[in-house]
Structure 1
Amino acid sequence: MRDLNYQLKNLCDHNKDGSQTTKADRHKKLQMMADHLFELGFRRMNANSLKPKHVDALIARYLSEGLNEGTIKNRLSALRWWADKVGKPNVVAKDNAYYGIESRVFITNESKARDLDRELLSKITSDHARMSLELQKAFGLRREEAIKFIPEYADQGNHIRLKATWCKGGRARTIPIRNELQREVLDRARLLAGLGSLIPSHLMYVDQMRIYEAETNKVGLHKMHGLRHRYAQERYYELTGWQAPACGGPTRDELSEEKRLDDRVARLAITQELGHGREQVTAVYLGR
Structure 2
Amino acid sequence: MNDLALALTRLCRHNRDGSRATQANRLRGLKALANDLHRLGYKLPRADSLKPKHVTALVTDWQGRGLSPATLKNRLGWVRWWAEKVNKASVVPRANADLGIDPRGAAAVNRAWQLSNDTQLADPHMQTSLELMAAFGLRLEEALKLRPHDADDGHVLRLQGSWTKGGRPRDVPIRTEHQRAVLAKAQTLVGRNSLIPTERSYIQHRKAFEYQSLKAGLANLHGLRHAYAQTRYVELTGWICPRQGGPLPKGMTSNQQRLDRHARLVIAAELGHGRVSITATYLG
What is the TM-score of this pair, normalised by structure 2? 0.87
Counterpart amino acid of 1:163? Q
* 1:40 counterpart residue number: 40
Q: Which moved more, 1:271-280 or 1:35-44?
A: 35-44
Q: Does 1:133 align with 2:126?
A: no
Q: Does 1:8 align with 2:5?
A: no
Q: 1:169 to 1:103 in 2, by over 3 A?
A: farther
- Equivalent-residue separation in structure 1 for 2:166 and 2:156 (angstroms): 21
Q: Note the 1:6-85 alignment, pairs <5 A.
A: 6-42=6-42, 45-85=45-85
Deviation string, structure 1 residues 32-87 (Cα, Å, up to 9, x no partner): 12222222234573445444444343233224334344333322221232233345
Q: 1:4 to 1:255 in 2, by over 3 A?
A: closer
- Equivalent-residue separation in structure 1 for 2:122 and 2:15 (angstroms): 36
Q: Which moved more, 1:20-29 or 1:175-184?
A: 20-29
Structure 1 spans left out of the alignment, 5+ residues: none
The alignment-based identity, stated in percent, is 46
- Equivalent-residue separation in structure 1 for 2:105 and 2:212 (angstroms): 31
Matching residue within 246, 249, 252 for 2:249: 252
Q: Note the 1:1-288 alignment, pairs <5 A.
A: 1-42=1-42, 45-96=45-96, 100-102=99-101, 104-107=103-106, 110-121=109-120, 124-287=121-284
Decide whether the 8 Å contact of 1:128 with 1:199 is kept in 2. Answer: yes
Q: 1:125 to 1:13 in 2, by over 3 A?
A: farther
Structure 2 spans left out of the alignment, 5+ residues: none
Q: CA deviation at 1:157?
A: 0.9
Q: How many residues align?
A: 284
Q: CA deviation at 1:144?
A: 1.1
Q: 1:243 to 1:95 in 2, by over 3 A?
A: closer
Q: CA deviation at 1:103?
A: 6.8
Q: CA deviation at 1:164?
A: 1.8
Q: 1:236 to 1:106 in 2, by over 3 A?
A: closer
Decide whether the 8 Å contact of 2:170 with 2:269 is kept in 1. Answer: yes
- Equivalent-residue separation in structure 1 for 2:106 and 2:39 (angstroms): 36
Partner of 1:160, secondary structure, is: strand
Decide whether the 8 Å contact of 1:143 with 1:223 is kept in 2. Answer: no
Decide whether the 8 Å contact of 1:236 with 1:267 is kept in 2. Answer: yes
Q: CA deviation at 1:168?
A: 2.1
- Equivalent-residue separation in structure 2 for 1:283 and 1:43 (angstroms): 38
Decide whether the 8 Å contact of 2:69 with 2:104 is kept in 1. Answer: no
Counterpart amino acid of 2:28? K
Q: CA deviation at 1:156?
A: 0.6
Q: CA deviation at 1:199?
A: 1.4
Q: Which moved more, 1:203-212 or 1:256-265?
A: 256-265
Decide whether the 8 Å contact of 1:134 with 1:185 is kept in 2. Answer: yes
